[in-house]
Amino acid sequence: MGRRRINIAIDGHSSAGKSTMAKSLAKELNYVYVDTGAMYRAATLHAMKERTVVDGVVNEVGVRAGLDRMYLSFRYNPKTEQSEIHLNGVNVEREIRSMDVAQKVSLIARVPEVRHKLVAIQQRMAEGGGVVMDGRDIGTVVIPHAELKIFMTADPETRAYRRLNELKSQGKQVSYNEVLENVLERDRIDSERAVAPLKQAEDAVVVDNSELTMEEQFNFLVNLARTRMQDQP
Protein backbone atom coordinates (compact mmCIF):
# COMPACT_ATOMS: atom_id res chain seq x y z
CA MET A 1 0.00 0.00 0.00
CA GLY A 2 1.08 3.51 -0.79
CA ARG A 3 3.75 2.11 -3.10
CA ARG A 4 2.21 2.97 -6.45
CA ARG A 5 4.38 5.20 -8.60
CA ILE A 6 2.55 8.43 -9.16
CA ASN A 7 3.01 11.06 -11.88
CA ILE A 8 4.06 14.57 -10.93
CA ALA A 9 3.29 17.47 -13.27
CA ILE A 10 5.19 20.72 -12.79
CA ASP A 11 4.05 23.76 -14.74
CA GLY A 12 4.76 27.41 -14.28
CA HIS A 13 6.41 30.54 -15.52
CA SER A 14 9.78 30.53 -17.22
CA SER A 15 12.80 30.94 -14.93
CA ALA A 16 10.74 29.93 -11.90
CA GLY A 17 13.20 27.10 -11.23
CA LYS A 18 10.95 24.28 -12.47
CA SER A 19 13.63 22.14 -14.02
CA THR A 20 16.05 22.37 -11.11
CA MET A 21 13.30 21.32 -8.72
CA ALA A 22 11.90 18.65 -11.02
CA LYS A 23 15.35 17.08 -11.45
CA SER A 24 16.05 17.01 -7.71
CA LEU A 25 12.63 15.62 -6.96
CA ALA A 26 12.98 12.87 -9.57
CA LYS A 27 16.40 11.93 -8.19
CA GLU A 28 15.12 11.80 -4.61
CA LEU A 29 12.11 9.65 -5.52
CA ASN A 30 13.98 7.54 -8.05
CA TYR A 31 11.59 8.69 -10.77
CA VAL A 32 12.24 9.66 -14.39
CA TYR A 33 12.57 13.36 -15.14
CA VAL A 34 11.08 14.51 -18.46
CA ASP A 35 12.05 17.97 -19.71
CA THR A 36 9.30 18.83 -22.21
CA GLY A 37 10.85 22.26 -22.91
CA ALA A 38 13.85 20.36 -24.32
CA MET A 39 11.49 18.56 -26.70
CA TYR A 40 10.06 21.83 -28.04
CA ARG A 41 13.59 23.18 -28.33
CA ALA A 42 14.72 20.06 -30.25
CA ALA A 43 11.71 20.35 -32.58
CA THR A 44 12.80 23.95 -33.21
CA LEU A 45 16.37 22.88 -33.96
CA HIS A 46 15.00 20.30 -36.39
CA ALA A 47 12.96 23.01 -38.17
CA MET A 48 16.05 25.25 -38.26
CA LYS A 49 18.11 22.47 -39.82
CA GLU A 50 15.39 21.85 -42.40
CA ARG A 51 15.16 25.62 -42.94
CA THR A 52 11.42 25.68 -42.28
CA VAL A 53 12.01 28.45 -39.74
CA VAL A 54 14.32 31.19 -40.91
CA ASP A 55 14.77 34.65 -39.38
CA GLY A 56 11.56 34.55 -37.40
CA VAL A 57 9.46 33.35 -40.35
CA VAL A 58 7.82 29.93 -40.15
CA ASN A 59 6.84 27.80 -43.10
CA GLU A 60 4.09 25.86 -41.32
CA VAL A 61 3.48 23.42 -44.18
CA GLY A 62 7.18 22.61 -44.17
CA VAL A 63 7.28 22.24 -40.38
CA ARG A 64 4.35 19.82 -40.49
CA ALA A 65 5.92 17.74 -43.28
CA GLY A 66 9.24 17.70 -41.40
CA LEU A 67 7.67 16.07 -38.35
CA ASP A 68 7.80 12.69 -40.08
CA ARG A 69 11.58 13.02 -40.19
CA MET A 70 11.94 13.99 -36.55
CA TYR A 71 12.76 11.29 -34.03
CA LEU A 72 13.29 12.37 -30.42
CA SER A 73 14.63 10.27 -27.58
CA PHE A 74 16.11 10.74 -24.12
CA ARG A 75 19.24 8.76 -23.26
CA TYR A 76 20.95 8.60 -19.92
CA ASN A 77 24.46 10.06 -19.81
CA PRO A 78 26.41 8.53 -16.92
CA LYS A 79 28.93 11.41 -17.05
CA THR A 80 26.38 14.16 -16.38
CA GLU A 81 24.02 11.76 -14.55
CA GLN A 82 21.19 13.23 -16.58
CA SER A 83 19.07 11.93 -19.37
CA GLU A 84 19.83 13.99 -22.45
CA ILE A 85 17.77 14.70 -25.52
CA HIS A 86 18.69 13.25 -28.90
CA LEU A 87 17.39 14.42 -32.24
CA ASN A 88 17.57 11.69 -34.89
CA GLY A 89 20.16 9.87 -32.81
CA VAL A 90 22.40 12.89 -32.14
CA ASN A 91 22.83 14.39 -28.66
CA VAL A 92 21.58 18.00 -28.96
CA GLU A 93 21.34 18.81 -25.25
CA ARG A 94 23.81 21.71 -25.57
CA GLU A 95 22.76 22.96 -28.97
CA ILE A 96 19.12 23.42 -27.95
CA ARG A 97 20.14 25.89 -25.19
CA SER A 98 21.50 28.44 -27.71
CA MET A 99 20.01 31.92 -28.02
CA ASP A 100 19.12 31.15 -31.62
CA VAL A 101 16.87 28.25 -30.60
CA ALA A 102 15.48 30.21 -27.62
CA GLN A 103 14.39 33.01 -29.91
CA LYS A 104 12.54 30.71 -32.32
CA VAL A 105 11.03 28.12 -30.00
CA SER A 106 7.78 29.96 -29.28
CA LEU A 107 7.09 30.07 -33.04
CA ILE A 108 7.39 26.29 -33.31
CA ALA A 109 5.69 25.51 -29.98
CA ARG A 110 2.50 27.10 -31.22
CA VAL A 111 2.13 24.90 -34.31
CA PRO A 112 -0.73 22.50 -33.39
CA GLU A 113 0.77 19.46 -35.17
CA VAL A 114 4.05 19.92 -33.31
CA ARG A 115 2.22 19.97 -29.98
CA HIS A 116 0.14 16.99 -31.02
CA LYS A 117 3.20 14.88 -31.79
CA LEU A 118 5.12 15.89 -28.66
CA VAL A 119 2.14 15.50 -26.33
CA ALA A 120 1.60 11.94 -27.64
CA ILE A 121 5.23 11.06 -26.87
CA GLN A 122 4.96 12.64 -23.40
CA GLN A 123 1.76 10.73 -22.64
CA ARG A 124 3.44 7.46 -23.58
CA MET A 125 6.34 8.25 -21.26
CA ALA A 126 3.92 8.85 -18.37
CA GLU A 127 1.83 5.73 -18.98
CA GLY A 128 3.47 3.57 -16.34
CA GLY A 129 3.74 6.32 -13.67
CA GLY A 130 6.95 7.28 -11.89
CA VAL A 131 7.54 10.42 -13.93
CA VAL A 132 8.28 14.02 -12.95
CA MET A 133 7.48 16.11 -16.01
CA ASP A 134 7.90 19.86 -16.31
CA GLY A 135 6.56 22.29 -18.89
CA ARG A 136 3.62 24.61 -19.45
CA ASP A 137 0.68 22.31 -20.20
CA ILE A 138 1.54 19.17 -18.28
CA GLY A 139 -1.18 19.29 -15.62
CA THR A 140 -3.78 20.70 -18.01
CA VAL A 141 -3.22 18.77 -21.27
CA VAL A 142 -0.52 16.09 -21.11
CA ILE A 143 -1.35 14.31 -17.84
CA PRO A 144 -4.53 15.91 -16.51
CA HIS A 145 -4.94 12.92 -14.19
CA ALA A 146 -1.50 13.30 -12.61
CA GLU A 147 -1.72 12.50 -8.90
CA LEU A 148 0.28 15.62 -8.04
CA LYS A 149 0.26 18.89 -9.94
CA ILE A 150 2.46 21.81 -9.01
CA PHE A 151 2.21 25.31 -10.41
CA MET A 152 5.51 26.99 -9.73
CA THR A 153 6.06 30.69 -9.87
CA ALA A 154 7.93 33.65 -8.41
CA ASP A 155 7.47 37.35 -8.98
CA PRO A 156 8.97 38.60 -12.28
CA GLU A 157 11.66 40.67 -10.53
CA THR A 158 12.92 37.64 -8.59
CA ARG A 159 12.96 35.50 -11.72
CA ALA A 160 14.78 38.21 -13.70
CA TYR A 161 17.36 38.57 -10.97
CA ARG A 162 18.00 34.79 -10.86
CA ARG A 163 18.24 34.61 -14.64
CA LEU A 164 20.64 37.56 -14.66
CA ASN A 165 22.95 35.77 -12.22
CA GLU A 166 22.80 32.61 -14.32
CA LEU A 167 23.70 34.52 -17.50
CA LYS A 168 26.49 36.40 -15.73
CA SER A 169 27.94 33.14 -14.45
CA GLN A 170 28.10 32.03 -18.11
CA GLY A 171 30.08 35.21 -18.87
CA LYS A 172 27.21 36.92 -20.73
CA GLN A 173 26.88 40.71 -20.53
CA VAL A 174 23.26 41.75 -20.10
CA SER A 175 21.45 44.33 -18.04
CA TYR A 176 18.81 43.61 -15.41
CA ASN A 177 16.23 45.60 -17.38
CA GLU A 178 16.85 43.60 -20.54
CA VAL A 179 16.39 40.35 -18.65
CA LEU A 180 13.25 41.59 -16.89
CA GLU A 181 11.74 42.62 -20.22
CA ASN A 182 12.51 39.17 -21.64
CA VAL A 183 10.91 37.43 -18.64
CA LEU A 184 7.74 39.54 -19.02
CA GLU A 185 7.64 38.95 -22.76
CA ARG A 186 7.97 35.17 -22.32
CA ASP A 187 5.18 35.21 -19.71
CA ARG A 188 2.99 37.04 -22.19
CA ILE A 189 3.72 34.66 -25.08
CA ASP A 190 3.28 31.55 -22.90
CA SER A 191 -0.05 32.70 -21.43
CA GLU A 192 -1.59 34.22 -24.55
CA ARG A 193 -0.79 31.38 -26.95
CA ALA A 194 -3.96 30.07 -28.63
CA VAL A 195 -3.00 26.38 -28.27
CA ALA A 196 -2.26 24.98 -24.82
CA PRO A 197 -1.49 28.28 -23.09
CA LEU A 198 0.21 28.28 -19.73
CA LYS A 199 -2.51 28.15 -17.14
CA GLN A 200 -2.84 26.81 -13.69
CA ALA A 201 -4.75 23.53 -13.37
CA GLU A 202 -7.62 23.92 -10.91
CA ASP A 203 -6.25 21.21 -8.67
CA ALA A 204 -2.61 22.33 -8.80
CA VAL A 205 -0.70 23.23 -5.66
CA VAL A 206 0.68 26.73 -6.21
CA VAL A 207 4.24 27.21 -5.06
CA ASP A 208 5.43 30.83 -5.11
CA ASN A 209 9.12 30.51 -4.35
CA SER A 210 9.98 34.24 -4.29
CA GLU A 211 10.68 34.02 -0.57
CA LEU A 212 11.76 30.36 -0.34
CA THR A 213 15.25 28.90 -0.35
CA MET A 214 15.91 25.93 -2.62
CA GLU A 215 16.07 23.68 0.40
CA GLU A 216 12.76 24.88 1.83
CA GLN A 217 11.09 24.39 -1.49
CA PHE A 218 12.63 20.97 -2.04
CA ASN A 219 11.57 19.74 1.43
CA PHE A 220 8.07 21.02 0.88
CA LEU A 221 7.75 19.23 -2.47
CA VAL A 222 9.26 15.94 -1.29
CA ASN A 223 6.83 15.85 1.64
CA LEU A 224 3.95 16.66 -0.63
CA ALA A 225 4.93 13.91 -3.07
CA ARG A 226 5.37 11.31 -0.34
CA THR A 227 1.99 12.19 1.15
CA ARG A 228 0.34 11.78 -2.25
CA MET A 229 2.03 8.40 -2.68
CA GLN A 230 0.70 7.28 0.69
CA ASP A 231 -2.78 8.39 -0.33
CA GLN A 232 -2.77 6.03 -3.32
CA PRO A 233 -4.88 2.88 -3.01
Whether 101 and 44 have beta carbons less than 8 Å apart is answered as yes
User: Binding-site residue total for ligand DC (CB under 6 A)?
Assistant: 12
Rule CB under 6 A: which of 140-199 touch ligand DC?
190
The one among 33, 40, 74, 151 contacting ligand DC by CB under 6 A: 40
> Of the candidates 118, 217, 214, which has an alpha carbon nearest to the alpha carbon of residue 162?
214
* Other residues' Cβ atoms within 10 Å of the Cβ of residue 28: 14
106 contributes a contact to ligand DC by CB under 6 A:
yes
Question: Of 104 and 228, which CB lies nearer to ligand DC in the complex structure?
Answer: 104
17 contributes a contact to ligand DC by CB under 6 A:
no
105 contributes a contact to ligand DC by CB under 6 A:
yes
12 contributes a contact to ligand DC by CB under 6 A:
no
DSSP assignment of 182-213, as one string?
Answer: HHHHHHHHHHH-SSS-----TTPEEEE-TT--
Whether 197 and 135 have beta carbons less than 8 Å apart is answered as no
139 contributes a contact to ligand DC by CB under 6 A:
no
| 26-34, 60-68, 76-84, 103-111 -> range binding ligand DC (CB under 6 A) | 103-111
**Nearest approach, Cβ of residue 173 and ligand DC (Å):** 21
Single-letter residue type at 16:
A
Q: What share of the chain is helix, strand, coil (3-state, %, to 5)?
A: 50, 20, 30
Question: Of 66 and 135, which CB lies nearer to ligand DC in the complex structure?
Answer: 135
Task: Tell me the C-alpha distance between 94 and 96, whole Å.
Answer: 6
52 contributes a contact to ligand DC by CB under 6 A:
no
| 62-70, 135-143, 153-161, 224-232 -> range binding ligand DC (CB under 6 A) | 135-143
Would strands 90-91 and 131-135 be described as parallel, antiparallel, or unpaired?
A: unpaired
Q: Which residues bind ligand DC (CB under 6 A)?
A: 14, 36-37, 40-41, 105-106, 109, 135-137, 190
